Structure 1
């Protein structure tokens, strides 16, 4: 493989017709140009020029290379411009994998900030729950993963990932607005022991069952769903009540549903994860920074 610098020098020699003229244009010495052309010929394994009197003439190989030089240089220039745009945050793509409530709350605000500051950055979104979302980022299928964990649950964090703390998300209970306990600011979990429940994803369900066991009862689970909107509809229809993270309350869609803090207080931890090497990529670092900024505002609300 030849050095791209030699191609630029070769192009200038052909354009100007001599080593000395190319040297003047490029700001090199004539011996430096001659050495580069000899190195290029060694790399290619064939002469590119022959001497004719005091001038030079292209060989057949030289003529063949000349036909491709413009394309090579144009491609190199385009590549450099694209890389420069990515490095300076004028362009770039970041693939983000998030669990549903983060996708509906943290992601939109972060993307709005990006659109205002760096409109050339594109974010591709996928949805997945941990630990699958952590596996995706570890395998390089996405650049950033938003994941959550509950106290006492194993982290299951691949060693090659870097962790960025976002927030702690208090747990709440979704109740029909006409429920007797809906008038309270907070609800003790033990007071809901005789209710029917709608349970969520596997990780949330495991924490829910553990919390109920700590309060001395086994919940009557009417049905389970990973879909927050379906869960709200079920609560609104009176099928049961549900324990959900507070982030879910920011996109309640039913006027017949309300959320109340659960006592004793339990919080899930929300983090962003990326491969350590990816933290050096400007667009990835930028998206992480904006996610942290949005999370800090959520904490303050």
Structure 2
């Protein structure tokens, strides 16, 4: 059985390129690093390094172990962080990571209602676009993640995560004041084929390219931003038009910008995620319950 501390030292030697640099990085003496590597070689049953002149070179076995060490140590870090997350949840501390438009709409409603009923629960908020939010959840850096997906662009959900459907968020076109299509209740994308476009995050941009392709054209994307306020400002200034989720309309700040639904209807699916083994914890259940309630209120609008 390989000792994890020996594996960490070995990984540091590989990463830094020498025993001396690894010792400096880990706060060990060089003889201590040498002893741990020798112990690891005894555990492995094969030499991991060979000397060529004054240089220490990694053997074929060492190269193979280096590839596994990266994965093993990453899994150990994830496990440790998930255990720490479990301890925080039992103490009533919940970290929620959501994408910007959810943090501006669903999360304030959910947290306000939760704290009114359960003031002892501590909710800490983070912000990240998917799939980064799910990566944080798997790494134990948050306890609940909100994410969205588009038809045809849906990524596979890791089996250790539970998915809770929240709402269908209809997409709209953001148009500047003066655009003749503002007079309409709905707009077909093909009518905007000659326009310049402002795209959102990478997942939103991919969806924009797909739905425009389905309508027979490639959008002329002149600017990309995942900042909703910047997106609105660019549309208001006439730089381009944009596709945005309906959630954005509730905090549309520019009077010079109007949202019109896309015809035929296009939606994104908004979901919440948590580790399956954390679902039974009361703090997780409470927060998810209030997020679902906030989503249901908007679904009914």
Q: TM-score, normalization: structure 1? A: 0.69
Q: Distance in 1 between matches of 2:248 and 2:288?
A: 21
What SS class does the counterpart of residue 259 from structure 1 fall into?
A: strand
Corresponding residue number in structure 1 for 2:293: 293
Contact persistence 1:134–1:157 (CA under 8 A): no
What SS class does the counterpart of residue 279 from structure 2 fall into?
A: helix
Contact persistence 1:131–1:156 (CA under 8 A): no
Corresponding residue number in structure 1 for 2:247: 247
Q: Distance in 2 between matches of 1:233 and 1:171?
A: 18
Q: Distance in 2 between matches of 1:158 and 1:134?
A: 9
Q: Distance in 2 between matches of 1:99 and 1:164?
A: 16
* Pairing of 1:25-174 with structure 2 (within 5 A): 92-174=92-174
Q: Distance in 2 between matches of 1:122 and 1:179?
A: 46
Q: Distance in 2 between matches of 1:153 and 1:237?
A: 31
Larger Rg: 1
Show structure 2 runs of 5+ residues with no match: 1-88
Contact persistence 1:195–1:219 (CA under 8 A): yes
Give the CA deviation at 1:240: 0.6
Show structure 1 runs of 5+ residues with no match: 1-85
What SS class does the counterpart of residue 198 from structure 1 fall into?
A: strand
Contact persistence 1:134–1:158 (CA under 8 A): no
Give the CA deviation at 1:115: 1.6
Corresponding residue number in structure 1 for 2:231: 231
Q: Distance in 2 between matches of 1:156 and 1:123?
A: 28
CA RMSD of aligned residues (A): 1.1
Q: Does 1:185 align with 2:179?
A: no
Q: TM-score, normalization: structure 2? A: 0.69
What SS class does the counterpart of residue 296 from structure 1 fall into?
A: helix
Give the CA deviation at 1:156: 3.0
- CA deviation map 1:188-235 (0-9, x unaligned): 111011111101100000010000111111111111111000000000
Corresponding residue number in structure 2 for 1:70: none
What SS class does the counterpart of residue 151 from structure 1 fall into?
A: coil
Corresponding residue number in structure 2 for 1:14: none
Structure 1's consecutive aligned runs of 4 or more residues displaced over 2 angstroms after TM superposition are none
What SS class does the counterpart of residue 97 from structure 2 fall into?
A: strand
Give the CA deviation at 1:154: 3.2
Q: Distance in 2 between matches of 1:116 and 1:253?
A: 28
* Pairing of 1:188-207 with structure 2 (within 5 A): 188-207=188-207
Give the CA deviation at 1:254: 0.6
Contact persistence 1:135–1:158 (CA under 8 A): no
